[in-house]
Amino acid sequence: MKRIVLSLVAIMVMSSVPFSEENIAYAESTEENPPEDKGFYVGLAYSHLSQDVDHEELTTNYELDFNAVMLGVGYKYNPYIAVEGRYYISFGDTDMDDILIQADLSILSLFIKPIYPIAPEMDIYLLLGYSLTEAEHVPTMTSLDEGSFSWGGGVSYDLTEDFSIFAEYAQLYNGTLNGFDHVVDSFNIGVTYEFRQNLF
């Protein structure tokens, strides 16, 4: 799943990297007449969550892979900055080193989202914020209920004026609890709908 998401991001970016006449015209028009690209938006994505757990003294190390749904709500102040809140919830079986186990993972995140348009229909962006992560692993009797700085980045492509698709990576948690080091990553593929209803 990680390779698929990274490949999609690479393809989407490389398809827009060549600085053709269209790109130059777009850059000039953006500087002279910034488009009215702001307002509320919502997002829905499939998320592949990965949780790495390590305890150096106990020589314990394992990885859990979750299928999850990500729901997002945000506000775009202009074409270059947005704020976004997200909620991740896992579903189905959890894979721990090729063994299916009972485990649940939910994450609540708040991000500042710097955006850079690289083509008329394509943006790249960063995610910088904070996440609250809650995880329960029944077989290992370990749990996680902590907050952490979160970061990531991605690329989005406009299908229409209101709908866009995106692919991205984010690290949602990185910390130590009761001697166990936890790292939670997400690889997301989803769709966004913009309402373009402005607050300012």
- The per-residue pLDDT for 30 is 47
Are 135 and 198 in contact by the 8 Å Cβ rule? The answer is: no
- The per-residue pLDDT for 20 is 44
Under DSSP, the state recorded for 200 is -
Task: Say how far apart CA 90 and CA 64 lie, in whole Å.
Answer: 12
Are 189 and 164 in contact by the 8 Å Cβ rule? The answer is: no
**The token pair that represents 119 in the structure block:** 């083509």
**The token pair that represents 139 in the structure block:** 């077989």
Domains of the chain: 2-13+41-194 (2.40.160.20)
Instruction: Kindly report the backbone phi and psi dihedral angles of residue 25, in degrees, each rounded to the nearest multiple of 5, phi listed first.
Output: -65, -40
**The token pair that represents 13 in the structure block:** 């970016």
Sign of CA dihedral 155, 159, 164, 170: negative
pLDDT per residue as tens, the chain (200 positions): 555 544 554 545 455 445 444 444 444 444 455 457 789 999 999 999 988 877 666 666 778 888 999 999 999 999 999 999 999 999 877 777 666 566 788 999 999 999 999 998 999 999 999 999 887 765 554 567 789 999 999 999 999 989 999 999 999 998 877 667 888 999 999 999 998 766 65
- The per-residue pLDDT for 193 is 96
Residue type at 58 in one-letter notation: L
- The per-residue pLDDT for 19 is 42
Please identify which residue in the block is written with the tokens 């309402």. 195
Task: Say how far apart CA 176 and CA 180 lie, in whole Å.
Answer: 5
Q: Please name the residue ranges forming H helices in 73-124.
A: none
